[in-house]
Structure formats: C-alpha cells, structure tokens
Structure 1
Amino acid sequence: MAARQRHLVIFARRPQLGVGKRRLAADVGDVEALRFARHALARLIRTLGRDPQWRLWMAVSPDRPLDWIRTGTPIPQGPGDLGERLSRVVEALPPGPVVVLGSDTPTVTRADVARAFAALGPHRAVFGPASDGGYWLIGLRRSPGEPLPFSGVRWSTSEALADTVANLEGARVCLLREQEDVDDGPSLRRYYKSRL
C-alpha cells in the first residue's frame, strides 16, 4: 500500500484554557488540564507527524481558526456528536485506508499506527481498545458502499467499543494492545508515574 493512500487522522480540540478536557479539569484544574492537552498533542505530532508511511490530517475543533496547526493537513470536525464528526471527517478524506486516534492517549507509538494499517489488509476494521471500554484508535479499510460504524454508539461509556464492533455486523476486526485514555485525575497521575 502506497504511503500517499494511507490517512492518519488525529482528532483534537484546540488546546485553550477552560475549553475541552472538562472531566480532567474537574479533577486537576483548568491550568493542569491545558498543560496536559498541549503536552499530549505535541507528543503525538512529534511521534507520528512526519512519517512517510501515511499522510497526517488534523481533525480539529473548533472549526476556526486553523492557524495553530503547524503539522498535517487541517480538516474541521464540524458539529454533532462524536459519531457524526467521525463520519464527516472519514467521508471527506481521499480514497484509502484511514486510522483515527484521539489526543487523549499520548502513549501511542509509530509502531502502533503501522500495526493498525497492516491489520487493515485482512480486516475491515482495527481497534485500539481503551481500558475504560472505549477505544483510542479505530482504523477502517473503507470499501466503496460500506457504511461507517458510528451510528447509535454510546460514546463516553464502557459500551463504546462493543457498540462500534456490533455496527460492523460480523466483519473481521483486529484488536491492538490496550491503552489508557487520560481523561481524569487518576489516569493523569498514572501517566506521569509511567514516565518516571
């Protein structure tokens, strides 16, 4: 598969004081939540942003301004719930397999993303399961006419992964290693402790 046909999308909210990371901010305060958001996004871009194996897209919220994006091609998420925004972004990309990840899991490596793209050869979808029942990554092979699996998913619950897999109606899927999203105080402390 040629690199130009592979699309890596990082879903991110513009790091801004008092915006985004609300569950984390409730535990650690707005300043620490902003500090983590900036750190996590910078780490992901530094790790994944300039790899010739894929083209990087930055799916951002709010939709404007976009001038803070320095690496990758910006694409607005638009309105709606996470499923609507994921569908809109994935449908807007040129043909080829797509891997989408959020900016809450700064531990994602280049090898994780390469494994995800490799898994899309024999599988329709690949997931990076999160310890809370959601997922830190989804990859889709994207064959013409196949519906996207984001309708009716109970986002931000322990059922998000199961709901998305069920929407694939028995298609072959692959699971990568489990990782933890950093979205509250305890998970942030575990993340910082793991870096010591």
Structure 2
Amino acid sequence: MRGTVIVFVKTPVAGRVKTRLGAEIGMGRAAALFRLLTQRTIAESLKGEWRTMLAVDPPWAAHGSARFWPHNVARMPQGRGDLGDRMARAFALAPQGPAVIIGADAPGLRARHLRRAFSALKGADAVFGPAEDGGYWLVGLNRRCAAPDLFKAVRWSTKHALADTLKTLPSSFEMRMLETLADVDEAKDLSLMGPAAAAH
C-alpha cells in the first residue's frame, strides 16, 4: 500500500518561527533560513514513490500562501493543541496505509531516509528518526494497530521528547530506529546548512 509523508510546516514569518535562533541572529534572518529549510525538506519529500502532504500552521495557510510552498502539494491544517495533539490529528487525517511525519529542521534529511522509514514499517509498527538533541526528526506508523495514548504527556522541545514518546507506544509494538540527524535550533547549528546559510 502506498505510503504518505506529512511535512509539518509553519509560515516563515519573522517572530513566529525559529525564535530561539532568531534571538541570536535576528528574527528576519531566522525566518528566511527556515523558509530555505522548508523548501529543501519538501523537495526531498517529493522524490519518492509515496504521496506527500503538508500539515500547515496557522490553519488558514492550508488554503493560501502558495508563495511559500509548492501549490500542487496537498495540505491539511495542523489544528490546535500541543505538538502531540497536532501529530495525532495528522496521522488520523492521512490516507490509509503507512505514514511518516517529518519536520523541516533537519538539513541532513534526504529522500533515502524516508525510503528507509517506509522499508522499516513493512515489519514494524513504528519507526523513529532520533535527533541529536533528544527529540526526533521523523516518526512513522504502519497504522495496522491503534496507539491510543501516543504522544500523551510528552515533554516537547526538551531532551526527553523521544524517550517520553517511546513510553506512550503500546507494549506490543515493534519499533525501529533510523540514523541520528541534527536539527537547526541555534546559531551554532547553521554550519549544517552549508554555504546557503551565509547567503541568507
């Protein structure tokens, strides 16, 4: 069955995205870099045999802001709640079959990572791409079995996010891990983006 990649994106507005990075380099530059990261991530997500969707915040942007993202990619609003609420909603709204959610913060993410995630989900119930900061750049479910408590009581934006999420998986779940990637959260992480970071 065909899989779905859901890219979580925000409109790249200064002061609304990458605020921790913006505090160091300026909100306008941080927003421009986030827009570049988002464009790169979406481009990689379109290189596979799966379908790609965007989960967009704020909700109104799901029906507009074509200048930020490719107009031909299907969109859904992220909706309300914390990150766990929004990811659970995205999984529920995705077409049938395996699905993975990715953010736009990991410049090292490539289509091959997504391919490996779907390959892992052929034999596992869940797959994670761990981030160096204790979070994760990918979460995937084959959705053959329910996970009603997934993402409950997770300490988001902390070093505990992945460990907390793993505790919410049903005990019967088979789980796989992908390689660890780094996110761009602070000025020291900009080297991960290569020369393009200096141009923005």
Query: Same fold by TM-score, threshold 0.5 exceeded?
Result: yes
User: Residue type matched to 2:36 in 1?
Assistant: H
Q: Is contact 2:129–2:139 with CA below 8 Å preserved after alignment? A: yes
* Deviation at residue 191 of structure 1 after TM alignment: 3.5
For residues 74-98 of structure 1, the C-alpha deviation after alignment (integer angstroms, 9 at most, x for no partner) is: 1000111000111111111121110
Give the gaps of 5 or more residues in structure 2. none
Q: Is contact 2:53–2:73 with CA below 8 Å preserved after alignment? A: yes
Q: Is contact 2:101–2:140 with CA below 8 Å preserved after alignment? A: yes
Q: Is contact 1:49–1:72 with CA below 8 Å preserved after alignment? A: no
Give the length in aligned residue pairs: 192
Structure 2 partner of 1:189: 191
Q: Is contact 1:134–1:159 with CA below 8 Å preserved after alignment? A: yes
Q: Is contact 2:105–2:184 with CA below 8 Å preserved after alignment? A: yes
For residues 106-126 of structure 1, the C-alpha deviation after alignment (integer angstroms, 9 at most, x for no partner) is: 221110000000000111111
Identity in percent? 38
Distance (whole Å) between structure 1 residues aligned to residue 194 and residue 100 of structure 2: 26
* Deviation at residue 15 of structure 1 after TM alignment: 1.1
Q: Secondary structure of the residue that 2:60 maps to in structure 1?
A: coil
Q: Is contact 2:107–2:192 with CA below 8 Å preserved after alignment? A: no
Give the gaps of 5 or more residues in structure 1. none
Structure 1 partner of 2:57: 61
Counterparts of residues 1-196 of structure 1 (less than 5 Å): 1=1, 5-51=2-48, 53-65=49-61, 66-67=63-64, 68=66, 69-70=69-70, 71-147=72-148, 149-170=150-171, 171-192=173-194
Distance (whole Å) between structure 1 residues aligned to residue 7 and residue 107 of structure 2: 11
Runs of 4+ in structure 1 off by over 4 angstroms are 193-196
Q: Secondary structure of the residue that 1:64 maps to in structure 2?
A: helix
User: Residue type matched to 1:185 in 2?
Assistant: A
